[in-house]
Structure 1
Amino acid sequence: MSASDEIDAIIANSGGWRGEMLAELRRVILSADPLIAEEIKWRKPSKPEGVATWVCQGNVCMADLLKNAVRLTFPKGARLHDPTSLFNSRLTSSAVRAIDVFEGVRVDEDALRQLVSEAVAANRAG
């Protein structure tokens, strides 16, 4: 099974608004750069499905389904310009930033696409 198929399964198995939101976020992430690829990482007994991860010359962002939110984590988030303040979690980390999306909240797709593009550029810069 491909990573894309496995992410499809994560979305289908999550059900409800979290699955719908993950599908929307995935669409925006993939639209940010044609070279972004999908991978599944960090499989463990407590999370056998692993973590949906988008990569382009390194990790761009990864998605976690939390009890009350969908979290997108950007490993190099502290380096990224976030003029619309999408980052709302892990704000004290020296490197990582995250976006927790809660039920009923709409994400600014253009702002997210820009963050993803910047994360790809940061990976390409080394």
Structure 2
Amino acid sequence: MKAKNMKPVALADSAGVDMYMQKLDHPLKDVLEALRKIILSVDSEIGEQVKWNAPSFLYIGEMQPFDPKEYKRYIIVSNVYQKDCIRLVFPSGAKINDTSGLLTGDYADGRRLAFFYNMEEVVAKEEALRKAVKTWLLLLDK
């Protein structure tokens, strides 16, 4: 129940991500922009914001109440700290049970990673990325 005069929290901030992208100095900026377009095109209830110093993608639709510290809305957090690749971190990627080879790692906290070193890899992995995001949305507690 919302308190009187309480404004809803804005989940998405594409303008903030646009500003981030304009200022980004990274050799694979075009790769990140292509990944951004793919992820956002999967579903109209996927939004973006700058979180943890990089573009992050989250579910912006209605959800059951949960502890905000669980970060259940977050699908993907991008990582641009390495200059040779764009790393996509799926905080709950283990739930997806990806068999395509897109998601790697076996982290105890359930996260999985996808690496993109060039535009050719974006093209080659696009369908697997779309499928991973769609699967994540199906598993979400809405």
Residue segments in structure 1 that go unaligned for 5+ positions in a row: 43-49
Percent identity over the alignment is 24
CA distance in 2, matches of 1:93, 1:70: 19
Q: Which protein is bigger by CA-based radius of gyration?
A: 2
Q: TM-score, normalised by structure 2?
A: 0.71
- How many aligned residue pairs are there? 115
5 Å matches for 1:1-126? 3-15=13-25, 17-42=27-52, 50-56=53-59, 57=63, 58-67=73-82, 68-88=84-104, 91-94=105-108, 95-103=110-118, 105-107=120-122, 108-124=125-141
CA distance in 2, matches of 1:8, 1:17: 17
1:51 is displaced (CA, Å) by: 2.4
The 8 Å contact of residues 39 and 133 in structure 2, kept in 1 or not, is answered as: yes
For 1:19-40, what per-residue CA distance to the aligned partner results, in whole angstroms no more than 9, with x for missing partners?
1011110111111111111122
CA distance in 2, matches of 1:17, 1:76: 28
The 8 Å contact of residues 60 and 74 in structure 1, kept in 2 or not, is answered as: yes
2:98 match: secondary structure:
coil
* Structure 2 residue identity aligned to 1:74: F
Displaced runs of 4+ in structure 1, greater than 3 A? none
Matching residue of 1:45: none
CA RMSD of aligned residues (A): 2.0
Residue segments in structure 2 that go unaligned for 5+ positions in a row: 1-11, 64-72
The 8 Å contact of residues 12 and 19 in structure 1, kept in 2 or not, is answered as: no
Q: TM-score, normalised by structure 1?
A: 0.78
* Structure 2 residue identity aligned to 1:99: A
